[in-house]
Structure 1
Amino acid sequence: MEKADSVKWAQVKKILQKAEKTELIDLIRELYGHSVGDRMLINSRYLGESIKTKMNKMLEQYREIIKEEFSTENVSGKIRYSTAERAISDYSNSSGDLMGTLDLMLTYVEGGVQFARVYGVIDDEFYDNIEGMLERFCEQLITEEGQKYYHFFRERLLKVDVGLENVGWGFEEAIYDLVSDIKDFFEEEQSDS
Protein backbone atom coordinates (compact mmCIF):
# COMPACT_ATOMS: atom_id res chain seq x y z
CA MET A 1 0.00 0.00 0.00
CA GLU A 2 1.28 3.50 -0.86
CA LYS A 3 1.99 6.01 1.86
CA ALA A 4 -0.52 8.88 1.86
CA ASP A 5 2.32 11.37 1.29
CA SER A 6 3.41 9.58 -1.89
CA VAL A 7 0.05 9.93 -3.67
CA LYS A 8 0.37 12.44 -6.50
CA TRP A 9 -2.18 15.13 -7.35
CA ALA A 10 -2.79 13.54 -10.76
CA GLN A 11 -4.05 10.38 -9.02
CA VAL A 12 -6.32 12.34 -6.70
CA LYS A 13 -7.62 14.45 -9.59
CA LYS A 14 -8.67 11.32 -11.54
CA ILE A 15 -10.59 10.01 -8.54
CA LEU A 16 -12.29 13.36 -7.90
CA GLN A 17 -13.33 13.69 -11.55
CA LYS A 18 -15.21 10.40 -11.26
CA ALA A 19 -16.86 11.29 -7.94
CA GLU A 20 -20.53 12.16 -7.64
CA LYS A 21 -21.50 15.76 -6.92
CA THR A 22 -22.90 14.81 -3.49
CA GLU A 23 -19.61 13.10 -2.58
CA LEU A 24 -17.69 16.25 -3.47
CA ILE A 25 -20.06 18.44 -1.46
CA ASP A 26 -19.65 16.12 1.53
CA LEU A 27 -15.87 16.31 1.14
CA ILE A 28 -15.97 20.11 1.00
CA ARG A 29 -18.25 20.19 4.06
CA GLU A 30 -15.75 18.00 5.93
CA LEU A 31 -12.87 20.27 4.91
CA TYR A 32 -14.94 23.30 5.94
CA GLY A 33 -15.28 21.88 9.45
CA HIS A 34 -11.71 20.58 9.57
CA SER A 35 -9.81 23.81 10.09
CA VAL A 36 -10.25 27.54 10.19
CA GLY A 37 -7.81 27.88 7.28
CA ASP A 38 -9.88 25.58 5.07
CA ARG A 39 -13.04 27.45 6.05
CA MET A 40 -11.43 30.80 5.24
CA LEU A 41 -10.26 29.52 1.84
CA ILE A 42 -13.71 28.26 0.93
CA ASN A 43 -15.40 31.45 2.19
CA SER A 44 -13.02 33.73 0.34
CA ARG A 45 -13.24 31.73 -2.87
CA TYR A 46 -17.02 31.34 -2.98
CA LEU A 47 -18.55 34.13 -0.89
CA GLY A 48 -16.96 36.86 -2.91
CA GLU A 49 -15.28 40.16 -2.51
CA SER A 50 -17.55 41.53 0.24
CA ILE A 51 -16.16 39.02 2.76
CA LYS A 52 -12.57 39.76 1.70
CA THR A 53 -13.15 43.50 1.91
CA LYS A 54 -14.73 43.22 5.36
CA MET A 55 -11.89 41.00 6.63
CA ASN A 56 -9.20 43.33 5.25
CA LYS A 57 -10.88 46.36 6.81
CA MET A 58 -11.13 44.63 10.18
CA LEU A 59 -7.48 43.51 9.97
CA GLU A 60 -6.37 47.09 9.25
CA GLN A 61 -8.34 48.43 12.21
CA TYR A 62 -6.65 46.00 14.59
CA ARG A 63 -3.24 46.63 13.00
CA GLU A 64 -3.63 50.36 13.71
CA ILE A 65 -4.41 49.67 17.38
CA ILE A 66 -1.16 47.72 17.68
CA LYS A 67 0.91 50.28 15.77
CA GLU A 68 -0.43 53.08 17.95
CA GLU A 69 0.72 51.31 21.12
CA PHE A 70 4.26 50.90 19.80
CA SER A 71 4.48 54.25 18.04
CA THR A 72 7.79 55.98 18.68
CA GLU A 73 5.71 59.15 18.87
CA ASN A 74 3.97 57.72 21.94
CA VAL A 75 4.44 60.78 24.17
CA SER A 76 3.88 58.97 27.47
CA GLY A 77 6.23 56.14 26.47
CA LYS A 78 3.81 53.78 28.27
CA ILE A 79 2.90 50.80 26.14
CA ARG A 80 -0.41 49.16 26.93
CA TYR A 81 0.54 45.58 26.07
CA SER A 82 -2.90 44.29 27.02
CA THR A 83 -4.55 46.64 24.48
CA ALA A 84 -2.30 45.41 21.66
CA GLU A 85 -2.68 41.76 22.70
CA ARG A 86 -6.45 42.12 22.99
CA ALA A 87 -6.52 43.46 19.42
CA ILE A 88 -4.83 40.26 18.24
CA SER A 89 -7.13 38.06 20.31
CA ASP A 90 -10.29 39.89 19.25
CA TYR A 91 -9.35 39.67 15.58
CA SER A 92 -8.49 35.99 15.86
CA ASN A 93 -11.69 35.12 17.70
CA SER A 94 -13.96 37.12 15.42
CA SER A 95 -12.39 36.14 12.10
CA GLY A 96 -10.83 32.72 12.57
CA ASP A 97 -8.20 33.96 10.11
CA LEU A 98 -4.83 32.47 11.08
CA MET A 99 -2.90 34.37 8.43
CA GLY A 100 -4.32 37.69 9.63
CA THR A 101 -3.66 36.73 13.24
CA LEU A 102 -0.06 35.90 12.40
CA ASP A 103 0.21 39.21 10.59
CA LEU A 104 -0.97 41.07 13.71
CA MET A 105 1.39 39.10 15.94
CA LEU A 106 4.33 39.99 13.72
CA THR A 107 3.17 43.62 13.59
CA TYR A 108 3.30 43.61 17.42
CA VAL A 109 6.86 42.23 17.38
CA GLU A 110 7.97 44.65 14.66
CA GLY A 111 6.50 47.57 16.61
CA GLY A 112 8.26 46.47 19.77
CA VAL A 113 11.57 46.00 18.01
CA GLN A 114 11.31 49.43 16.38
CA PHE A 115 10.49 50.94 19.78
CA ALA A 116 13.59 49.26 21.22
CA ARG A 117 15.76 50.51 18.35
CA VAL A 118 14.69 54.09 19.11
CA TYR A 119 14.68 54.03 22.93
CA GLY A 120 17.34 51.40 23.66
CA VAL A 121 17.18 49.77 27.09
CA ILE A 122 13.61 49.66 28.36
CA ASP A 123 12.55 47.15 31.08
CA ASP A 124 11.93 43.46 31.74
CA GLU A 125 8.20 43.71 31.06
CA PHE A 126 8.88 45.12 27.61
CA TYR A 127 11.40 42.43 26.69
CA ASP A 128 9.23 39.63 28.07
CA ASN A 129 6.21 40.81 26.07
CA ILE A 130 8.01 41.22 22.75
CA GLU A 131 9.95 37.96 23.08
CA GLY A 132 6.80 36.16 24.25
CA MET A 133 4.79 37.35 21.26
CA LEU A 134 7.56 36.34 18.84
CA GLU A 135 7.67 32.94 20.51
CA ARG A 136 3.88 32.53 20.14
CA PHE A 137 4.12 33.67 16.52
CA CYS A 138 6.77 31.02 15.84
CA GLU A 139 4.74 28.33 17.63
CA GLN A 140 1.72 29.11 15.43
CA LEU A 141 3.84 29.26 12.29
CA ILE A 142 5.19 25.74 12.73
CA THR A 143 1.77 24.17 13.18
CA GLU A 144 0.48 22.18 10.22
CA GLU A 145 -1.93 24.98 9.31
CA GLY A 146 0.59 27.76 9.97
CA GLN A 147 3.36 26.31 7.82
CA LYS A 148 1.60 27.27 4.59
CA TYR A 149 1.93 30.95 5.56
CA TYR A 150 5.67 31.07 6.21
CA HIS A 151 6.49 32.39 2.73
CA PHE A 152 4.16 35.37 3.36
CA PHE A 153 6.08 36.36 6.49
CA ARG A 154 9.63 35.21 5.74
CA GLU A 155 11.08 38.56 4.64
CA ARG A 156 9.49 40.53 7.47
CA LEU A 157 10.58 37.94 10.00
CA LEU A 158 14.19 37.93 8.82
CA LYS A 159 14.35 41.73 9.26
CA VAL A 160 13.09 41.69 12.86
CA ASP A 161 16.47 41.17 14.50
CA VAL A 162 18.34 43.79 12.45
CA GLY A 163 19.66 46.84 14.28
CA LEU A 164 19.31 45.65 17.86
CA GLU A 165 23.02 45.72 18.74
CA ASN A 166 22.70 48.50 21.32
CA VAL A 167 19.54 47.38 23.06
CA GLY A 168 21.10 45.13 25.67
CA TRP A 169 19.70 42.82 28.35
CA GLY A 170 19.98 39.84 26.02
CA PHE A 171 17.06 41.12 23.92
CA GLU A 172 19.01 41.06 20.66
CA GLU A 173 20.16 37.48 21.30
CA ALA A 174 16.68 36.27 22.24
CA ILE A 175 15.11 37.75 19.11
CA TYR A 176 17.97 36.49 16.93
CA ASP A 177 17.67 32.96 18.36
CA LEU A 178 13.91 32.78 17.77
CA VAL A 179 14.25 34.05 14.20
CA SER A 180 17.15 31.67 13.50
CA ASP A 181 15.26 28.69 14.93
CA ILE A 182 12.19 29.31 12.77
CA LYS A 183 14.34 29.91 9.69
CA ASP A 184 16.22 26.64 10.35
CA PHE A 185 12.93 24.78 10.86
CA PHE A 186 11.62 25.82 7.45
CA GLU A 187 14.94 25.24 5.67
CA GLU A 188 15.00 21.70 7.09
CA GLU A 189 11.36 21.19 6.02
CA GLN A 190 12.25 22.25 2.47
CA SER A 191 15.30 20.02 2.31
CA ASP A 192 13.24 17.06 3.57
CA SER A 193 10.62 17.48 0.83
Structure 2
Amino acid sequence: MTKIKITDLKKKLKEFDQKELIQLVTELYKLNKDVQDFLSSKFIGEKAVEALFESAKKKVNDEFLPDKGFGKMRLGEARDAITNFKKITGDQLRTLDLMLFYVEVGTEFTNTYGDIDGRFYDSMISMYNKVISECAKDEKLFKIFHDRLSSVIEDSSGIG
Protein backbone atom coordinates (compact mmCIF):
# COMPACT_ATOMS: atom_id res chain seq x y z
CA MET A 1 0.00 0.00 0.00
CA THR A 2 1.30 3.41 -0.94
CA LYS A 3 1.08 5.99 1.83
CA ILE A 4 1.27 9.75 1.59
CA LYS A 5 4.29 11.37 3.18
CA ILE A 6 3.80 13.90 5.97
CA THR A 7 5.20 16.75 3.85
CA ASP A 8 2.77 15.93 1.01
CA LEU A 9 -0.09 15.59 3.49
CA LYS A 10 0.65 19.05 4.90
CA LYS A 11 0.69 20.54 1.40
CA LYS A 12 -2.68 18.99 0.60
CA LEU A 13 -4.20 20.09 3.92
CA LYS A 14 -3.11 23.68 3.27
CA GLU A 15 -5.27 23.63 0.14
CA PHE A 16 -8.39 22.80 2.19
CA ASP A 17 -10.67 25.48 3.56
CA GLN A 18 -11.98 25.31 7.13
CA LYS A 19 -15.19 23.51 6.17
CA GLU A 20 -13.26 20.80 4.30
CA LEU A 21 -10.88 20.33 7.23
CA ILE A 22 -13.80 19.97 9.64
CA GLN A 23 -15.37 17.37 7.33
CA LEU A 24 -12.08 15.44 7.10
CA VAL A 25 -11.54 15.37 10.86
CA THR A 26 -15.16 14.33 11.38
CA GLU A 27 -14.73 11.43 8.95
CA LEU A 28 -11.52 10.35 10.70
CA TYR A 29 -13.34 10.50 14.03
CA LYS A 30 -16.07 8.19 12.74
CA LEU A 31 -13.56 5.73 11.24
CA ASN A 32 -11.15 5.13 14.08
CA LYS A 33 -11.55 4.59 17.84
CA ASP A 34 -8.00 5.80 18.51
CA VAL A 35 -8.81 9.07 16.73
CA GLN A 36 -11.95 9.38 18.87
CA ASP A 37 -9.88 8.85 22.01
CA PHE A 38 -7.14 11.23 20.87
CA LEU A 39 -9.54 14.04 20.00
CA SER A 40 -11.50 13.49 23.20
CA SER A 41 -8.31 13.82 25.24
CA LYS A 42 -7.38 16.98 23.33
CA PHE A 43 -10.76 18.71 23.51
CA ILE A 44 -12.37 17.36 26.68
CA GLY A 45 -9.11 17.12 28.59
CA GLU A 46 -8.66 15.68 32.07
CA LYS A 47 -12.03 13.94 32.25
CA ALA A 48 -11.38 12.06 28.99
CA VAL A 49 -7.79 11.21 29.95
CA GLU A 50 -8.97 9.79 33.28
CA ALA A 51 -11.59 7.66 31.50
CA LEU A 52 -8.95 6.38 29.06
CA PHE A 53 -6.64 5.62 31.99
CA GLU A 54 -9.34 3.61 33.77
CA SER A 55 -10.15 1.73 30.56
CA ALA A 56 -6.48 0.86 29.98
CA LYS A 57 -6.09 -0.18 33.60
CA LYS A 58 -9.09 -2.50 33.28
CA LYS A 59 -7.64 -4.04 30.11
CA VAL A 60 -4.34 -4.72 31.90
CA ASN A 61 -6.10 -6.14 34.95
CA ASP A 62 -8.42 -8.34 32.88
CA GLU A 63 -5.49 -10.06 31.18
CA PHE A 64 -4.34 -11.31 34.58
CA LEU A 65 -7.13 -11.12 37.14
CA PRO A 66 -10.54 -10.51 35.55
CA ASP A 67 -13.62 -10.19 37.74
CA LYS A 68 -14.92 -13.50 36.38
CA GLY A 69 -13.02 -16.54 35.16
CA PHE A 70 -9.30 -16.81 34.65
CA GLY A 71 -6.96 -14.33 33.03
CA LYS A 72 -5.69 -15.17 29.57
CA MET A 73 -2.33 -13.63 30.45
CA ARG A 74 -1.85 -12.16 26.97
CA LEU A 75 1.12 -9.98 27.84
CA GLY A 76 1.06 -8.28 24.44
CA GLU A 77 -2.56 -7.19 24.91
CA ALA A 78 -1.77 -5.70 28.31
CA ARG A 79 1.34 -3.93 27.03
CA ASP A 80 -0.58 -2.64 23.99
CA ALA A 81 -3.16 -1.06 26.30
CA ILE A 82 -0.34 0.85 28.01
CA THR A 83 1.34 1.85 24.74
CA ASN A 84 -1.93 3.06 23.22
CA PHE A 85 -2.73 5.11 26.31
CA LYS A 86 0.70 6.73 26.12
CA LYS A 87 0.39 7.51 22.39
CA ILE A 88 -3.10 8.94 22.70
CA THR A 89 -2.64 11.04 25.83
CA GLY A 90 1.09 11.66 26.26
CA ASP A 91 0.42 11.49 30.02
CA GLN A 92 3.73 10.36 31.51
CA LEU A 93 2.57 10.00 35.11
CA ARG A 94 -0.43 7.84 34.31
CA THR A 95 1.59 5.82 31.79
CA LEU A 96 4.12 5.01 34.49
CA ASP A 97 1.24 4.19 36.82
CA LEU A 98 -0.10 1.70 34.24
CA MET A 99 3.35 0.20 33.73
CA LEU A 100 3.78 -0.36 37.45
CA PHE A 101 0.21 -1.68 37.70
CA TYR A 102 1.11 -4.22 34.99
CA VAL A 103 3.95 -5.50 37.17
CA GLU A 104 1.78 -5.45 40.30
CA VAL A 105 -1.03 -7.54 38.79
CA GLY A 106 1.51 -9.82 37.11
CA THR A 107 3.13 -10.39 40.49
CA GLU A 108 -0.25 -11.00 42.12
CA PHE A 109 -1.10 -13.44 39.32
CA THR A 110 2.04 -15.52 39.81
CA ASN A 111 1.66 -15.45 43.59
CA THR A 112 -1.91 -16.71 43.17
CA TYR A 113 -1.41 -19.34 40.47
CA GLY A 114 2.23 -20.35 40.80
CA ASP A 115 5.33 -19.98 38.69
CA ILE A 116 4.92 -19.07 35.04
CA ASP A 117 7.67 -19.10 32.38
CA GLY A 118 10.78 -17.11 31.57
CA ARG A 119 9.02 -14.92 28.99
CA PHE A 120 6.52 -13.82 31.64
CA TYR A 121 9.23 -12.89 34.14
CA ASP A 122 11.32 -11.16 31.48
CA SER A 123 8.30 -9.01 30.63
CA MET A 124 7.70 -8.14 34.28
CA ILE A 125 11.37 -7.25 34.84
CA SER A 126 11.55 -5.22 31.64
CA MET A 127 8.47 -3.18 32.55
CA TYR A 128 9.67 -2.69 36.13
CA ASN A 129 13.06 -1.51 34.84
CA LYS A 130 11.37 1.04 32.56
CA VAL A 131 9.52 2.50 35.54
CA ILE A 132 12.71 2.56 37.62
CA SER A 133 14.59 4.23 34.77
CA GLU A 134 12.02 7.04 34.54
CA CYS A 135 11.95 7.47 38.32
CA ALA A 136 15.75 7.70 38.38
CA LYS A 137 15.51 10.72 36.06
CA ASP A 138 12.94 12.55 38.19
CA GLU A 139 12.95 12.53 41.99
CA LYS A 140 9.30 13.65 42.06
CA LEU A 141 8.28 10.49 40.19
CA PHE A 142 10.36 8.37 42.53
CA LYS A 143 8.58 9.86 45.54
CA ILE A 144 5.20 9.19 43.95
CA PHE A 145 5.94 5.54 43.17
CA HIS A 146 8.42 4.63 45.91
CA ASP A 147 6.02 2.67 48.12
CA ARG A 148 4.56 0.71 45.23
CA LEU A 149 8.01 -0.03 43.79
CA SER A 150 9.12 -1.36 47.18
CA SER A 151 5.95 -3.44 47.54
CA VAL A 152 6.61 -5.15 44.19
CA ILE A 153 10.07 -6.15 45.41
CA GLU A 154 8.60 -7.58 48.61
CA ASP A 155 5.70 -9.30 46.85
CA SER A 156 7.92 -10.86 44.20
CA SER A 157 10.47 -12.30 46.60
CA GLY A 158 10.90 -16.01 45.99
CA ILE A 159 9.10 -16.18 42.64
CA GLY A 160 10.49 -16.71 39.15
User: TM-score, normalization: structure 1?
Assistant: 0.55
Segments of structure 1 that go 5 or more residues without pairing to the other structure are 1-46, 172-193
Cα deviations across residues 27-73 of structure 1 (Å, max 9, x unaligned)?
A: xxxxxxxxxxxxxxxxxxxx99x511111111111000001111176
**What's the Cα RMSD here?**
2.3
CA displacement at 1:103 relative to structure 2: 0.4
Matches within 5 A, 1:172-187: none
State the partner residue of 1:137: 131
The answer to whether the aligner puts 1:159 opposite 2:136 as a matched pair is no
CA distance in 2, matches of 1:160, 1:96: 25
State the partner residue of 1:78: 72
User: 1:122 aligned to 107, 116, 126, which one?
Assistant: 116
Amino acid at match of 1:148: K
Change beyond 3 A, Cα 1:163–1:104 = closer
CA displacement at 1:164 relative to structure 2: 3.5
CA displacement at 1:165 relative to structure 2: 4.3
CA distance in 2, matches of 1:118, 1:54: 33
Segments of structure 2 that go 5 or more residues without pairing to the other structure are 1-41
The alignment of Structure 1 onto Structure 2 pairs a total of residues equal to: 119
Q: List 4+ stretches of structure 1 deviating above 3 A.
A: 72-78, 163-166
Task: Give 3-state SS (helix, strand or coil) of 1:142's partner.
Answer: helix
| Paired-residue identity, % | 29
User: TM-score, normalization: structure 2?
Assistant: 0.66
